[in-house]
Amino acid sequence: MRDQPWVQKYKPNHTKDLVGNKAVTSRILEWLQKWPKSVLRNQRALLLFGPAGVGKTLTVYTIANEVGYAVFEINASVKRSKKLMNELLKTSTMTKTLTSKRGRVILIDELEGLSGKSDRGAASAIKDYVTETQVPIILITNDITDAKISPLRKLCTYIEFQLLTNVEIADKLQSICDEESIKYDRAALEQLALKSRGDLRAAINDLQRLAESGSTITTESVIDLLKARDQTIDINEALDRIFYAKTWNDAIYAANQTDAYPDELLRWVSNNLHLVFPSLAQQEKGLAILSKASIHNQRMKQTQNWRLLPYSKELMSLSASILGGKPAETHLEYSYPEWIRQMGFSRGLRQKRALVGHSLSPIVHLSSKKAYTEYKIVLKALIETGGLKEEIKKDLELTDELIQL
C-alpha cells in the first residue's frame, strides 16, 4: 500500500532487522536478560544516549518485544510535578500486563526535556525510583552531558548510540526497493543516504516520495527532489496541500516546503483543523497528534536540537490519510491564528519590556525576561511612591517612554 507510511510498514519486529549499532543492540539485550543479577550489583537502570534519529526508542521496543517484556513509556519532556511523576512510576509497577511473559520494562524518554523549577521535582522522583526500582528501567537522552541528568548518570549503566553510516542507510533503502519491486540506481540510494545525515527515518520518507512517481529512482530524480524541497510556498498553499494530500508523504512534503516557523505552522494547522475536518473523531485524533508536535517544538527551543524538526513536521502533516474520512469538499478561507495576531499587536510592548529587562539583568543577575517579570512591581513602587523616578531613569539608562511603561 502506497498510502501507508513506509517508516511504519518497514518498522523492525526483531533485533536482527534493526539497522546499525549492532554491538549496542547486543549490550542492551544482554543487560535486559541479566537484569535480576544487575540489581544485585546496583545497576538497576540503563541510560541510552546519542543523536536524534538513530533509533534509540525503537531499539528498546524491539528488544523488549523479543525478550518478552511489555514497555511502559513515560515522556520526561511533559512537565510534571514530583507528585505526578511518583504516581506515574507507581502505576507502572502496580498495574499488571496481560500481554508479556516477563512483566514490564519502564522507559523514560527525552530526559533532556526536563527543565526549570517545575521539572526539578520530576527529576528527583526519577532519581529516587532508579535507586529503588524492582523492574528494569531504561532512560533515553540525546545529550548525556546535560547538567540536569548528571545525578542520574552516576546510578546507571550507560550505552552510546552512533549515527548510522551511509552504507547502512543505503542498504536498508535497497531492501525496501526490492520488497516494493522498485527499480533503482544504487548511486541514487547512496545519495539519499548522504543527504539524510544519518537519519534513517528521513531517508525512507524521501524514498517513498520518489517511488510514488512510478519511475526508476536515479541520481537525477534525487537531485530534482532536493531542488523542489528548497522551493518555499506560502502558508495558505501549504495548508491546502497538507489537508487535501492524497498520501501522508505528500502532506509531509508540503509541510517541508513552507518557511513558517514550527510553532507558527502548528497554530495554523490546529486553528483550521475543524474547518476542514468537521468530524469530532477526526478533530480529536488530530489534536492528539498536534499535542505531540507541540512537545517536539518545545524541546527544540529548550535544547536547540533542530534535528527534531523533521519529526515535528511529520506530526503536523494532518491529511485525510492519517485522520480518516474525507476533508471538506469546498475550499475554505483559512483563519489567521489569533495567537499570532495578538503577538503582532503586542510586539512593540514586548520590545519595550525587553529593553527594561536588559537594563535590569546585570544588576539582579537574572535573564532579561525574568528580571522584568520579577522586578517590575518593585520598580513601579519605587517610581510612584518612592520618588526615585529620576534616579532609576539615570541608573538604568531608561527613556521617559520606558519609565512610563
pLDDT tens sequence across 58-72: 999 999 988 888 888
Would residue 140 count as lying in a domain? yes
pLDDT < 70 positions in the chain: 1-3, 37-43, 76-102, 113-122, 214, 227-233, 259, 302-307, 320-321, 329-332, 336-353, 356-358, 360-362, 364-366, 368-369, 371-372, 374-376, 378, 382-405
Same domain for 266 and 306, yes or no, is: yes
Strand partners, 48: 140, 159
Write out the residue range of the structural domain in which residue 385 sits: 347-404
- The burial of 227, by beta-carbon neighbours within 10 Å (0-12 exposed, 13-18 middle, 19 or more buried), is given as exposed
292-348: per-residue pLDDT in tens? 888 877 877 766 666 677 777 788 887 766 777 777 766 567 776 665 455 444 455
**Looking at this protein, which amino acid is placed at residue 213?**
S
Same domain for 151 and 94, yes or no, is: yes
Q: d(Cα 11, Cα 403) in Å, to the nearest integer?
A: 60
pTM to 2 decimal places:
0.58
Same domain for 281 and 303, yes or no, is: yes
Cell of 284: 480529536
> What is the reported pLDDT for 177?
92
> What is the reported pLDDT for 370?
72
| 349 CB neighbour count, 10 Å cutoff | 10
Cell of 311: 519529526
> What is the reported pLDDT for 158?
85
Would residue 397 count as lying in a domain? yes
Would residue 291 count as lying in a domain? yes
β-sheet with 137-141: strand ranges across: 70-75, 104-109, 137-141, 45-49, 156-160
Domain count, the chain: 3
Angle at CA 16, nearest 5°, toward 12 and 17?
Answer: 30
Q: d(Cα 19, Cα 55) in Å, to the nearest integer?
A: 8
Would residue 121 count as lying in a domain? yes
11-67: per-residue pLDDT in tens? 888 888 899 899 999 999 988 888 776 655 566 788 898 887 788 989 999 999 888
The last residue of a domain, from among 336, 357, 386: 336
The DSSP annotation for 315-374 comes to HH---HHHH-S---SS--PPPPPHHHHHHHHTHHHHHHHHHHHHHHHHHHTS-HHHHHHH
Locus of grid cell 509531509: 252
The last residue of a domain, from among 102, 127, 160: 160
Same domain for 103 and 149, yes or no, is: yes
User: What stretch of H or E contains 325?
Assistant: none
Cell of 367: 535573564
Contact 68, 101 (CB under 8 A): yes
Would residue 59 count as lying in a domain? yes
